[in-house]
Structure 1
Amino acid sequence: MTHNNTPKPDDRSDNAEKLKDMVQNTIGNMEAAEETMAFSDGKERDAIKAKNERRKESIEGMRNEIKDEISQE
């Protein structure tokens, strides 16, 4: 049995679209977490707030990547 060790070609043609989907998914997760906070205690609420802050940072990074991808097209 032989293995093909040739890497797949690097296709980045849809990166911007994938990143846009990831931003939308992350925003949806943030909104769901906000709704969950209404039923959470102090410690859990603090964890949700911290996670949403990290999500905001991720969204900012993804949006910067989208700008880079679009400018390279």
Structure 2
Amino acid sequence: MKNKPDDRRDNVDRIQHNISNTIHNIELAEEMIAKTDDNKMKNTIEEKNERRRDALKGMREEIKDEAIDKQNGYK
């Protein structure tokens, strides 16, 4: 069985897409928090958004690394 070659040309685009989706999900969750009176649900959503924000930090670091790697020819 042949392995697929490491094709990282679209990694920056893929990561940027994931960042955009995550930001959108945070915004939707914030709207839901504003509309609900259920404190348990608010806490759950706020915790999830905190995890999303942490993930965003990681994705932004990854996109920087990929951009540098791309600049260096993925060496």
Q: Percent identity?
A: 46
1:36-70 CA-to-partner distances (Å, cap 9, x unmatched) read 11232000000000000000000000000000000
The match for 1:36 is: 32
Give every structure 1 segment of 4 or more consecutive aligned residues whose post-TM-superposition deviation is greater than 2 Å.
Answer: none
Q: Pick from 14, 34, 57: which aligns with 2:54?
A: 57
Counterparts of 2:17 and 2:8, CA distance in 1? 15
Superposition pairs for residues 3-14 of structure 1, below 5 Å? 5-14=1-10
Aligned residues between the structures: 69
- Is structure 2 residue 61 aligned with structure 1 residue 71? no
Counterparts of 2:50 and 2:32, CA distance in 1? 15
Question: Is there any run of 5+ residues in structure 1 with no aligned partner, and where?
Answer: none
The CA deviation at 1:22 is: 0.3
